[in-house]
Amino acid sequence: MKTGTVTIRLPMDKIERLQEISKQRECSVTELLREPISTWLDLGAIGGGDNQEVLEALGKLESNVLGAQQSIAELVITTLRTAIGARYMANKAAENTDEVVSFMSSNKPLDPKVKAEWQALRDQECEQMAQQWIAMALGIYDRPEPESGG
């Protein structure tokens, strides 16, 4: 491809900033500026390009992003509803199991005080597990180091 030279005047502080950036990226100022200028021209930001095409493409992109966000939100809500329902059912099953085991071992219903203590322990355990799952989902969970077999 045939090339030419373009000279532009910039304030010295901007030239110095360009030189610093090009030094950090280990390239020349020309190489640093070539890509954004080409992109700018290709997108029609200046001279001869069709800004309407760019605006339409951005509008489609925005619509797709909003649609994806809506879909993700609906999925999260459905998952949370399912998890809450499962937790409720598991809690009820545990309560019934407590009653059955107590009755089978002592022929008496479970003492309400003991039942409340067991339920409090289960609630505490559920809360700890929920916090761990949230942390894992957010990527901030400290995974334990694997034990070395030896």
The token duo for 120 is: 């409090």
* Distant-in-sequence, close-in-space partners of 110: CB < 8 Å, separation ≥ 6: 98, 99, 102, 103
Question: Residue 48 has what pLDDT?
Answer: 54
Mean pLDDT over all residues of the chain? 83
The yes-or-no verdict on residue 96 having pLDDT over 70 is yes
| Residue count (the chain) | 150
The lowest-confidence range among 15-19, 53-57, 69-73 is: 53-57
Helix, strand, coil percent content, the chain, rounded in steps of 5: 75, 0, 25
What is the pLDDT confidence band of residue 47, given thresholds at 50, 70 and 90?
Answer: low
Residue 21 to residue 74: CA distance in whole angstroms: 43
What is the pLDDT confidence band of residue 54, given thresholds at 50, 70 and 90?
Answer: confident
Q: What is the pLDDT of residues 74-93, one digit of tens each?
A: 888 898 889 888 988 988 89
